[in-house]
Amino acid sequence: MNNDTNSSTETVQKRSKRSEFLELVRFTVITLLIVIPIRIFIAQPFIVNGESMLPTFHNGDYLIIDEVTYRTNEPKRGEVIVFRFENKRFLIKRIIGLPGEELNISGDRIVITEADGTKVELKEEYINEDFSSYGTWNLKEEEYFVMGDNRNASSDSRTWGILNKKEIVGKTFLRLFPLSGIDFQPGEIEDSMIEQSQQ
Note if the pTM is more than 0.85: no
80/39 same-domain check: no
28/104 same-domain check: no
25/92 same-domain check: no
62/35 same-domain check: no
> What are the tens digits of pLDDT across the range 72-99?
999 999 999 999 998 788 999 999 999 9
Q: How far is CA 197 from CA 124, 138, 146, 148, 194, in A?
A: 11, 20, 20, 22, 9
Number of domains the chain contains: 2
Q: Tell me the residue range of the domain where 142 lies.
A: 48-198
35/87 same-domain check: no
Q: Which of 5-9, 36-40, 118-122, 164-168 has the highest mean pLDDT?
A: 164-168
26/56 same-domain check: no
Longest distance between any two alpha carbons in the chain, whole Å: 99
Asked if residue 31 has pLDDT above 60, the reply is: no
Average pLDDT over every residue of 160-167 = 96
52/18 same-domain check: no
